[in-house]
Amino acid sequence: MLVLVDQDQTLADFGDGFDRRFSATHPDAPLVPRAQADSYWIEDSYPEQWHERIRAVPAQEGFFRELRPLPGARDALEAMLDAGHDVRICTAPVRAYRHCVREKYEWVEEHLGRHWTERVIVTRDKTLVAGDVLVDDKPEVIGTFATPSWTHVYYRTGYNEHLPGAHLDWSSWSEVLDAVEVERTGRGTLLLPRLADARTPASTHRSAPTRTHARERPRPARMLVGADLVAVSTSVRGGT
């Protein structure tokens, strides 16, 4: 299958990183540990006067780069490849993106390996990305398409465990993905069957389509006129 995996609070421990940064920056603030939170939105755990300061924490330089990996995440990703799944990291940047996007790549390289940086998709709208599965802790992933191509599998946290649907952690991913694969195959909605060599991204298993351009640059053609070769310019008609 084509498996999309969220980064923050799925591979990287966003909650722990926030708790440490927020406490260091605001030692006088109340602290509601993210591991105990019952809402995805951090602001829901704090009085309103702290909301702006909460939103400023992930914008700090070094925040995303210094997140700790969740236990078992790297081994699970590698095992998915070994099982024939084409795995991509599909992550949304924060709106204050000055440091975020670069640091997400740096985090992937440091904790997963440089080869995983070629499997990163950064987008504010995950519904635009095709896939069989999206593994994500977010309770509701919304965007342009009300019905995305993928099946949302929750990465299990305290704030989503009550929701109906499939849940996994990195000790149970195999049986959960197997069940989704069977279900999608039965409905005829499986986008990508398992690959013999998933460590080579699926995009390189297929030939690139032949493209016909509306306009091509003039190319010299050689015409025999008498005893002389005369170069003439020919072109394909374009839009003007």
Query: Does residue 8 have an active-site annotation?
Result: yes
Tokens of 227: 């005893």
**Is the separation of the CB atoms in 87 and 5 below 8 Å?**
yes
Tallying the residues shown for the chain, one arrives at 240
Measured distance CA(193)–CA(185) in Å, rounded: 9
**Is the separation of the CB atoms in 160 and 40 below 8 Å?**
yes
From the candidates 6, 19, 86, 137, which is the catalytic residue?
6
**Is the separation of the CB atoms in 64 and 58 below 8 Å?**
yes
Q: Provide DSSP, 73-86.
A: HHHHHHHHHHTT-E
Burial class (CB within 10 angstroms; exposed 0-12, middle 13-18, buried 19+) of 122: middle
Helix (H) or strand (E) run with residue 3 in it: strand 2-5
From the candidates 8, 86, 132, 137, which is the catalytic residue?
8
**Helices 73-82 and 173-187: angle between axes, nearest 10 degrees:** 40
Measured distance CA(174)–CA(90) in Å, rounded: 19
Query: Does residue 6 have an active-site annotation?
Result: yes
Task: Tell me the catalytic residues.
Answer: 6, 8
